[in-house]
Amino acid sequence: MNKAAFYIICAATVVATATLGQSEQYKLGRRATPEEIRELDISVAPDGSGLPKGSGTVSQGQHVYQALCANCHGDRGQGVLQYPALAGGQGTLKSSNPLLTVGSYWPYATTVWDHIHRKMPYARPGTLTPDETYALTAFVLYLNGILDKEAELNETTLPRVKMPNRNGFVPDPRPDIPFKAKSPRQP
């Protein structure tokens, strides 16, 4: 998102938040305890907030990957049938046949960690430990040439990984299609 759009949202939010003041309190709902929040809160932000302590190396990740992921995503992340490719495609985004992968498209490494942790393995989501998730993230980034073979990821280093398409996203410019009331019939 560019800065202008960001500040517009901020400004609008300040106005909106201000009106939250005169709200009616219905005294329903119970207070969430810190333990309850810790148990449910799995969100991870691009700045790394929410990442649990832990670490994993590319080679540890390769091990877990071959056991749990290769069946669907292929042994080198090339994808199998309808299961998406995780690697490749860099340099194809302007072509007529772009390949959108973690390496060619995804702007943040934290998203890779979050998605693996949230949703993978597809049939048994939520079963990976933080260390396994760091290791798998490291291996997938290695498959894309973003990390070298000896790399290790942890809660501090993961948010610092620079993804190739980090600056490839623009804010929504719509409406973007010009309308001519009397345009001739399109062929």
Among 42, 53, 75, 129, binds another protein (CB under 8 A): 42
Count of residues of this chain found to bind another protein when the rule CB under 8 A is applied: 69
Structure tokens at 28: 């329903």
Pairing of strands 55-57, 152-154: antiparallel
- Binders of another protein among 98-157, rule CB under 8 A? 98, 100, 102, 105-108, 110-111, 114-115, 118-119, 122, 125-126
Contact yes or no for 159/144 (Cβ under 8 A): no
Helix (H) or strand (E) holding 140: helix 130-143
Q: 43-77 burial string, b = 16+ CB within 10 Å, else e?
A: ebeeebeebbebbbbbebbbbbbeebbeebbbeeb
Does 183 sit near another protein (CB under 8 A)? yes
- Window of 54-62, 137-145, 147-155, 175-183 that interacts with another protein by CB under 8 A: 175-183
Does 45 sit near another protein (CB under 8 A)? yes
Among 3, 94, 160, 162, binds another protein (CB under 8 A): 94
* Distances in whole angstroms, Cα of residue 105 to Cα of each of 24, 43, 171, 180: 45, 21, 16, 35
Kindly tell me which of 148 and 182 has the beta carbon lying closer to another protein: 182
Kindly tell me which of 148 and 184 has the beta carbon lying closer to another protein: 184
Kindly tell me which of 13 and 156 has the beta carbon lying closer to another protein: 13
Does 40 sit near another protein (CB under 8 A)? yes
Contact yes or no for 147/131 (Cβ under 8 A): no
Q: At which residue do the structure tokens 């759009």 appear? A: 5
Does 3 sit near another protein (CB under 8 A)? no
Does 179 sit near another protein (CB under 8 A)? yes
Does 173 sit near another protein (CB under 8 A)? yes
